[in-house]
Structure 1
Amino acid sequence: MNTAKISGSPVRGLTAATIGFFFGSAAISLFGPSATKLNEVMDLSPSMMGLLVAIPTLSGSLLRIPFGASVDENGGRKSFLLLMILSVIGLAGLSILLGTHYPSNMQGTYWLILVFGCLSGCGVATFSVGAGQSSYWFPKNKQGFALGIFGGLGTLGAGVFAIVLPLLLHSVGFVSAYYIWTAFMIAGTILYFIISCNAYHFQFRKQGYSEEASKAMAIEAGQELFPAGNMKQSLLLSARIPETWILVIAYFVTFGGFMALTAWLPTYWQKAHGLSVTQAGLFTSVYACLAALLRIPGGNLADKIGGLKVSLFAISLLGTVAAVMAFSSNLAVSGLCTLIIAVAFGLNNAAIMKLVPVYVSKSVGGASGWVGGLGAFGGFVIPPVLGKVVDTMGATGYYRGFLIFSLFSVIVMLILYFGLVVRNKNK
């Protein structure tokens, strides 16, 4: 007699992952706005400032690789909770440090701030865990839509927080804002703990059923995708598949690009077009929200016509519009180009995550880790490159820097065409 019990549903699993990632990505949002405050009392060098702002993104990006792969081993819930708890510890540590040392006793605390920053960045790594979880919950013909909702609504925090945080800092002050943000993260962690659940196969396995029995019962319950091994095996298996690295490159340009421009655009709008800090923040927020929300229809479109077609269109759109923006000093034209770039980012980010379970179906977690982790690493790499263009060319560099995205687009188009279209046609 079958006594197996299952809980949850695809909708519940997707909701939990989306909410968890929304809160997880919030953990590092205070670092950018607060860096100036810290610099005022710590007299940091430009390189120290750069490391301070980037360290949570760096740890959050690289941790996506092993934690994404861990989904194939434990279903994701345990990994997700661990990352959120570490993020809470990081924020709580920063809150206590600032509460006891800021502003007059901050000398010698820089390296401790970096450690807490690394821990705070763990929340960002929930992306690859949630992507793997969501993929296992849904059938292949609905994964684009599901991953679009997960990535779109989860990433929406970047735009929302760009508006909320300056207001919070202004109304309650620098130190109090960290305590409030810590409480916010604790609430998100508890909420995820209450509503989250792994896909059916992992639930059956936890109840002691064999791999074969768990898979058979999960298929009966509606699950289509299954892992081929543990975390190490998942990473190794996905790393041996060329398509994994093609998707990494494409995601590096558009998700890394999304993160890079979210950090770079406030400076661009102020320096290139003379906008105020508030206006630059508002423009950036509109861009970030649009790029995030476009992942939802982008995922749906990828389900209908194929992720590869959507990706090729989005990359070509990005390359064309970035070239126009590189030579535009008109505010209206640049504003419109930024919105179109957001559309291209949103569509391609959705399409690439749809393609992960298509091309790497036996190690979705491992592939999600590689794609999500190394792709997000672009958010750490691209801003210094844009800054270097400005250092070399002066004020004109704020415009010409966008040619980097045109160059990246050409490279990605060639790789997608020869690596996926031609290669699979010849199989």
Structure 2
Amino acid sequence: MVSRAFLRAGHMPTLLSAFLYFDLSFMVWVILGPLGVAIAKDLGLTPAEKGLMVAIPVLSGALLRLVAGVLVDHIGPKRTGILGQLTVMAGLAAAWFLGVHGYSQVLLLGVVLGVAGASFAVALPLASRWYPPQHQGLALGIAGAGNSGTALAALFAPGLAQAYGWQNVIGLAVLPLACAFAIYLIFAKDAPNRPPPKKLAEYLDVLKVRDAWWLMGLYSVTFGGFVGLSSSLTIYFNAEYGLPAVTAGFFTAACVFAGSFLRPVGGALADRFGGVRTLSVVYVLAALGLALASFQQPSPWLALALLMFAMMALGAGNGAVFQLAPQRFGREIGVVTGLVGMTGGVGGFYLASSLGWAKQATGAYQAGLLAFAALALVALLGLNGVKARWRRTWPELAGAGAAALRL
């Protein structure tokens, strides 16, 4: 899959630095989910409050991705990443030192953790600008596989919380972030073909292009499903199947690793078969997996298998969307990454919060999962409606690079 041509085409130290920065940023972005069982027990939270607690960092990260995208185009991705990492480390250190004593303070911490979620809008342009169109899917798939950091949180946070207390886990998270920050400072470099910065008003011009809105909508389902489930599954397995927090974290980590592994595979498949074809299959499989998982299964292992299946489809879809985005918006990739990433986070906020509301209102998570499965089918219908126009107009817009497009 990683050919010699790919290795020669870009800058591998930057690609790997972008992956590590993205990976550990995502680890802390969703850390309230794996810690949610312990936090809810200490603070006496309702299902709806638990849902909002894990959804707030997702929403904050979504909105801040647009800010990060603008900064990427003005000061470059490397400097933007430095500012973001320093902010997150300072916020975590302050929360650990001062303590988190109430629900409102948990939500405030969630807003700060959103800065880590905005790393998406930095890491992807940092990697993307080093690679030509024919390698965009794989390059962005590798960088984007940093969303596996959500699995690290699920894997280690519940056990550490049990041993040292959940508030101390917040402080311990600074240590791996500091290591990733040092590697990023040394090895990451901005690509030499950085486009000149635009006036702020020019960024709004992207929103006048229908294709930007379509990509935003498509990603709100694939990434929204991925990050919404990543944030919620520890609480879900604990509440729905009675699993201990540590076991529920292991189950969540398995789902996240499956989805993260398939992101670069989805990008590579999109490079070979086209992003539209890959996404069409993805939405069908994701809808099927979510719909089946919505029904109470006779064992948590069967539920795990179904949710892993759904997460694998969603992960592949994330890679496919970002195989398409640079082909249509190569010059505006920074702000487009921010916009598309923002709506992906909004989708995750909707899923995470709706699962909590569904549990509180009906006593089960089924309504929330079925509603998101229906959204995947809506996305499929929309994609089928625009694919003919994209295949007709995008090569014309690409000009000399039209031959390299794979739709």
TM-score range, shorter chain: 0.7 to 0.9
Structure 2 residues without counterparts, runs of 5 or longer:
1-8, 395-407
What is residue 260 of structure 2 aligned with on the other side? 292
Q: Give me the whole-angstrom Cα distance separating, in 1, the residues matched to 2:168 and 2:358.
A: 37
Residue aligned with 2:330, SS:
coil
Q: Which residue of 1 aligns with 2:113?
A: 120
Aligned length: 385
Matched, 1:307 2:275: yes
1:283-305 CA deviation, whole Å, 9 max, x = no partner?
Answer: 21111110011111111111111
Structure 1: gaps of 5 or more residues: 1-7, 203-226
Paired residue type of 2:160: L
Q: Structure 1's 338 and 51: CA in aligned 2 closer, same or farther, altered over 3 A?
A: closer
Question: 2:291 and 2:161 mapped to 1: Cα distance?
Answer: 36
Say which is worse superposed, 256-265 or 288-297, in terms of deviation: 256-265
User: In structure 2, which of residues 174, 191, 205 is the aligned counterpart of residue 182 of structure 1?
Assistant: 174
The more displaced of 171-180 and 251-260 is: 171-180
- Correspondent of 1:412 among 360, 376, 379: 379
Kindly state the Cα deviation for residue 185 of structure 1 after the two structures are TM-superposed. Answer: 1.9
Which residue of structure 2 aligns with residue 148 of structure 1?
Answer: 141
**1:256, 1:377 within 8 Å by CA — same for their partners in 2?**
yes
Report how far residue 419 of structure 1 moved: 2.2
Q: Which residue in the other structure is 2:401 paired with?
A: none
Secondary structure in structure 2 of the residue aligned to 1:197: coil
Query: What is the alpha-carbon distance in structure 1 between the residues aligned to residue 219 and residue 241 of structure 2?
Result: 29
Letter in 2 for 1:196: A
Cα 1:30–1:323 change in 2 (3 A) is: closer
Counterpart in the other structure of 1:384 = 353
Is 1:241 the equivalent of 2:209?
A: yes
2:293 is aligned with 1:325:
yes
Q: Measured at CA, do residues 39 and 383 of structure 1 come closer, stay the same or move farther in structure 2, by a change above 3 Å? A: closer
For 1:327 and 1:111, the matched residues in 2 are separated by 33
Q: Does the CA-based 8 Å contact 2:27-2:152 persist in structure 1?
A: no
Q: 2:220 aligns with which of 224, 227, 252?
A: 252
Out of 312, 317, 321, the position equivalent to 1:352 is 321
1:115-144 alpha-carbon deviations (Å, 9 max, x no partner): 444233212111111111211110000010
**Cα RMSD (Å) of the superposition?**
2.6
Deviation of 1:29 (Å): 4.1
Aligned residues of 2:50 and 2:356 also touching (Cα < 8 A): no
Contact 1:89 1:120 in 2 (8 A): no
SS at match of 1:201: coil
The SS at the match of 1:32 is: coil
* AA matched with 1:125: A
Counterpart Cα distance in 2 of 1:268 and 1:44: 14
Structure 1 residue matching 2:193: 3-state secondary structure: helix
Distance 1:55 1:320 in 2: 28
Identify which range, 260-269 or 27-36, moves more after superposition: 27-36
Percent identical pairs in the alignment equals 28
Contact 2:25 2:177 in 1 (8 A): yes
Q: Conserved in 1, the CA contact under 8 Å of 2:142 and 2:263?
A: yes
Q: Secondary structure of the residue that 2:21 maps to in structure 1?
A: helix
Hey, what's the Cα distance between the residues in 2 that align with 1:424 and 1:162?
40
Q: CA–CA distance in 1 between the matches of 2:215 and 2:331?
A: 16
Indicate if the aligned counterparts of 2:270 and 2:323 stay in contact, CA closer than 8 A.
yes
Could you say which residue in structure 1 is the equivalent of 2:74? 73
Q: What is the Cα deviation at residue 252 of structure 1?
A: 0.8
Amino acid at match of 1:161: A
Confirm whether residue 362 of structure 1 aligns to residue 353 of structure 2. no
Q: Report matched runs for 1:93-242 at 5 Å.
A: 93-98=94-99, 106=101, 111=104, 114-152=107-145, 154-202=146-194, 227=195, 229-230=197-198, 232=200, 235-242=203-210
Structure 1 equivalent of residue 370 of structure 2:
403
CA distance in 1 between counterparts of 2:168 and 2:303 reads 37
**Is the CA contact (8 Å cut-off) linking 1:90 and 1:117 kept in structure 2?**
no
Q: State the 1:365 CA deviation.
A: 0.8
Partner Cα separation in structure 2 for residue 258 and residue 186 of structure 1: 26
- Pick closer, same or farther for the CA change 1:271–1:164 going to 2, 3 Å: closer
* TM-aligned CA distance change 1:125 to 1:31, over 3 Å: same
User: 2: CA distance between counterparts of 1:413 and 1:259?
Assistant: 20
Going from structure 1 to structure 2, the CA distance change for 1:46 and 1:266 (only over 3 Å counts) comes to: closer
| Cα distance in 1 between the residues matched to 2:44 and 2:130 | 49
TM-score, normalised relative to structure 2: 0.86
User: 1:340 and 1:37 mapped to 2: Cα distance?
Assistant: 28
**Residues 286/40 of structure 1: CA separation in 2 closer, same or farther (3 Å cut):** closer
What amino acid does structure 1 have at the position aligned with 2:165?
G
3-state SS of the aligned residue for 1:264? helix
Cα distance in 2 between the residues matched to 1:398 and 1:89? 36
Q: Per-residue displacement from partner, 1:159-187 (whole Å, max 9, x unpaired)?
A: 12211112222333334333321232222
Code of the aligned partner of 2:63:
L
Give 2:397's aligned residue: none
Give the structure 2 partner of residue 340 of structure 1.
309
Q: TM-score, normalised by structure 1?
A: 0.82
Contact preservation (8 Å) 2:25, 2:149:
no
Task: Tell me, in whole angstroms, the C-alpha distance in 2 between the residues paired with 1:151 and 1:56.
Answer: 19
